[in-house]
Amino acid sequence: MKPGNSLALLWPRVRFHGLAMGWPALLGLALAAGAVALELMVVDDLDARIEKLQQSRSSLRKKLVAASSQSEIRGLLVSELVDVNAIDSVIAGVHTAARNSGVRLEQGDYKLQPEPDTRLLHYRIAFPAKGDYLQLRRWLDEAIEAQPGLMVEEFSLRRDDIGNDMLEARVSLGLLVRQP
């Protein structure tokens, strides 16, 4: 018997038994198929991302444990930050992450200020942004993951119509950079 013939014979039996069991069985099959699809599309990607973040965290922990003094620890953490001359590439990365996530950024405000009692500078970036909630979260996750010194300082959302998925966000980011 050819494989095509066995499928042709199997389908009527599945259809007959499915109709005999009624809509609860069909609903159960649909839910099971949805769970399998969710596992394949979403959960595996999240597991890979979590694994990558855990490896990064454990690598940083090992470096911190190897450091013997507070000044070495401070130096290690500061060495992970970008130099002030690389700010443009970080901003380009933030805009690229927004574009990749489907977030629309408006004209932003940019300010560079010294951090008191350190050799660091604090670069403040404020944007009005538009997108749905998942797009905004994906954008911020991607931008922060790509740049260790980037942090969310303010995140406020506004929606004009409850039936609309589109949100208007006010996002303030901070970037710690090293002075030359």
Number of domains in the chain: 2
Q: pLDDT at position 75, please? A: 64
3-state DSSP of 118-136: CCEEEEEEEEEEEECHHHH
pLDDT tens-digit profile of 81-119?
777 788 888 889 999 999 999 999 988 898 988 888 877
Based on the fold, state whether residues 168 and 92 are members of the same structural domain.
Answer: yes
Q: pLDDT at position 153, please? A: 92
123 Cβ partners below 8 Å, 6+ apart?
A: 87, 110, 111, 112, 113, 174, 175, 176, 177
- Which CATH number characterizes residue 99's domain? 3.30.70.60
Based on the fold, state whether residues 107 and 58 are members of the same structural domain.
Answer: no
Based on the fold, state whether residues 91 and 29 are members of the same structural domain.
Answer: no
* Whole-number Å distance between alpha carbons of 9 and 118: 76
* Whole-number Å distance between alpha carbons of 56 and 40: 25
Single-letter code of the amino acid located at 11? W
Domain boundary among 66, 99, 122: 66
Is position 78 within any domain? no
Q: pLDDT at position 40, please? A: 78
pLDDT at residue 10 greater than cutoff 60 = yes
Is position 74 within any domain? no
Place of tokens 């506004």: 158
Angle between helices 87-101 and 133-146 (to 10 degrees): 150
* Whole-number Å distance between alpha carbons of 38 and 140: 23
Based on the fold, state whether residues 104 and 158 are members of the same structural domain.
Answer: yes
* Whole-number Å distance between alpha carbons of 107 and 149: 22
Give the angle subtended at the CA of 100 by the CAs of 57 and 149, to the nearest 5°.
Answer: 35
Is position 16 within any domain? no
Based on the fold, state whether residues 114 and 151 are members of the same structural domain.
Answer: yes
Mean pLDDT of 114-139: 88
Q: pLDDT at position 130, please? A: 93
Based on the fold, state whether residues 133 and 51 are members of the same structural domain.
Answer: no
Is position 170 within any domain? yes
Is position 173 within any domain? yes
Place of tokens 């389908």: 11
Q: Kindly report whether the global pTM for this prediction surpasses the value 0.85.
A: no
pLDDT tens-digit profile of 33-73?
888 887 777 777 778 888 887 887 787 777 767 766 666 66
DSSP 85: G
Both tokens assigned to 30: 């649909």
Is position 118 within any domain? yes
Is position 42 within any domain? yes
Is position 165 within any domain? yes
Range of the domain at 110: 83-178
Angle between helices 23-38 and 3-21 (to 10 degrees): 120
Based on the fold, state whether residues 88 and 150 are members of the same structural domain.
Answer: yes
Contact in structure between 172 and 128 (CB atoms under 8 Å): no
Q: pLDDT at position 67, please? A: 63
Based on the fold, state whether residues 107 and 139 are members of the same structural domain.
Answer: yes
pLDDT tens-digit profile of 14-35?
777 777 777 777 788 788 888 8
Q: pLDDT at position 71, please? A: 66
